[in-house]
Each structure stands twice: as structure tokens, then as C-alpha cells.
Amino acid sequence: MTDVRAKKSLGQHFLVDMSVAKGVADSLRVESPTRVLEIGPGMGALTQFLLQDPNINLTAIEVDRESVDYLKLNYPQLDVVSGDFLRLPLETIVPEGDFYVVGNYPYNISTQIFFKILEYRDRIPVAAGMLQKEVAERFAAPPGSRTYGITSVLLQAFYNIEYLFTVHEHVFSPPPKVKSAVIRMERNEVKHLPCNEQLFVKVVKTAFGQRRKTLRNSLKSLTGDSPLPSQYLLQRPECLSVEQFVELTNEIERILESKK
């Protein structure tokens, strides 16, 4: 069978350097029998290495019919689900238990993919793989860094994130316009944040919605004229750690409660 024709609309950039593909597969660091879900296997660059690991029990999900046909022909032993990762309830793919997630992800929807991983965080101890470099940097950025933003806080609330290595455009066909990077995220110990989690998300999004403003100004839309007791009011959102956003969320919750 001939190669799959790369479709831009599906974010298809196939890895052609097999040592990089192996590096991405290895970034999972599987040490004992583990269920693994690969997102967007394409023509199987990573898949072939995942299949070689006797500890990995692999399922792949691919939205492109042409790629699914290619995989069925070339990797008959592979369990491949034809469908859209963002739309399918993951219970239908992995009915129970924990599983790791890996991929050379479609860059056009990578943030949505990681928000879905976050939704299933209590079943996903590890997620790793390749992303656009800027997105990978944002996910892993510590407070105080210029790239620290909404996704950094929301992901780091539940995962420890490592930036592993940078990947050059020329290892893909067709080459993307941007550099890439491989990250690994491991679930931390936090089961629930010690605050109202919905309000936490709202506070983080509101604060970064106007990231150049001080928190006193950007959070007025949530608290109105009631003064916040916070010691962080004169700071900008990129300076606050997850714990400090939790503290701020609790202060805002108290104000909202007192207004009821």
C-alpha cells in the first residue's frame, strides 16, 4: 500500500526520523504491564515501537480513514479505533482501569486534547508525547516565566510536567512551520484542590484574560467593588503558583458567599 497522503486539516505531519519516533515512544517510561492509548498514530511511526514493548497493551485512536486502513494492513496485530479522540467517550475505548496516553499529537487541537486528558486525570497517571514547541513550553513553564499561562496552571495543578527535548522541523514529512518538543506529565498526589475547583478555573481564566493588568483590576469582574484581602493584588497572574491561585480562589469564594 502506498503512503497516506498528508492532510493539513488533520494536522498530519508524519515522523520520518525513526530515532526520534523511538525517543517519543520511550518518553512514556513504561516499567510494568500498562494499558496505553496512542492518539493519532498516522502511519505508525511511534506505534511500531510501542508494539515492540512487551509491557505495553496498546490501543490506538485515529480519525483519518486512510490512515486506519494503512494501519490495519501494515500492523494487523494493532487494536485501532477509527474515530475522533475529542468526541469519543474514553469509557468506550478503555472501559476500566488506568491507562497512559501518548502521541505525536495533531498540533491544531493539542490544547483540547490535553483538556480532555485533564478531564480523565484520575484514570491517566502519565501522558507524554510531541507537541508544538511553544505549547510544550507553556505546559511546562514555571510561575514567573513569560510563557506561564492558563494551561500551565490548570495542568500543573494535577500533573508534574517535564520538558524532555526539542525536535527540528526536518524530521517530519511534510515539515511543520514550527519547532516541536516532547514532554512527559505525571499525575501528582492532589486528588482535589482545596478550593472550589470550578471557581478556580474561572479565576485563572479571568486573571490571564487580562494578563498585563494587576489582579486587583482583572478580578473586579468577579468580585465587583468588594475589596479582596489578598496579598497578591498588585501582582500579575504570571507570578502566582497553583497554591497561590487556590488561596485567591478561597478569598473570592468567601466574598461571593457573603454577598448571597
Q: How many residues does the chain have?
A: 260
For residue 39, the minimal CB distance to ligand SAH (Å) is 6
Q: Segment 86-145, which members bind ligand SAH (CB under 6 A)?
A: 86, 104, 106, 109
Using CB under 6 A as the binding rule, whether residue 11 contacts ligand SAH is answered as yes
Q: Segment 153-172, which members bind ligand SAH (CB under 6 A)?
A: none
Using CB under 6 A as the binding rule, whether residue 67 contacts ligand SAH is answered as yes
Cell of 85: 479522540
For residue 176, the minimal CB distance to ligand SAH (Å) is 9
Using CB under 6 A as the binding rule, whether residue 12 contacts ligand SAH is answered as yes
Sequence-separated (6 or more) residues with CB below 8 Å from residue 53: 25, 30
Q: Which of 25, 28, 36, 39 binds ligand SAH (CB under 6 A)?
A: 39
Judged by beta carbon, residue 25 or residue 248, the one nearer ligand SAH is 25
For residue 43, the minimal CB distance to ligand SAH (Å) is 6
Judged by beta carbon, residue 86 or residue 234, the one nearer ligand SAH is 86
Report helix, strand or coil for 38: strand
Least Cα distance to 87 among 63, 51, 59, 54 occurs for: 63
Size of the site for ligand SAH (CB under 6 A): 24
Q: What distance in Å separates the CA atoms of residue 216 and residue 218, rounded to the nearest whole number? A: 6
Using CB under 6 A as the binding rule, whether residue 13 contacts ligand SAH is answered as yes
Q: What distance in Å separates the CA atoms of residue 141 and residue 123, rounded to the nearest whole number? A: 24
Stretch that binds ligand SAH, among 29-37, 78-86, 206-214, 236-244 (CB under 6 A): 78-86
Q: Verify cis geometry, omega within 30 degrees of 0, for the bond prior to 174.
A: yes
Q: Which of 25, 28, 45, 141 binds ligand SAH (CB under 6 A)?
A: 45
Judged by beta carbon, residue 61 or residue 203, the one nearer ligand SAH is 61
Cell of 10: 488533520
Q: Label each residue of 63-96 as H, E or C.
A: CCHHHHHHHHHHCCCCEEEECCCCCCCHHHCCCC
Q: Which residue has the cell 517535564?
A: 162
Stretch that binds ligand SAH, among 5-13, 181-189, 225-233, 248-256 (CB under 6 A): 5-13
Sequence-separated (6 or more) residues with CB below 8 Å from residue 203: 219, 222, 245, 248, 249, 252
Contacts to ligand SAH by CB under 6 A: 10-15, 39-43, 45-46, 61-64, 67, 84-86, 104, 106, 109
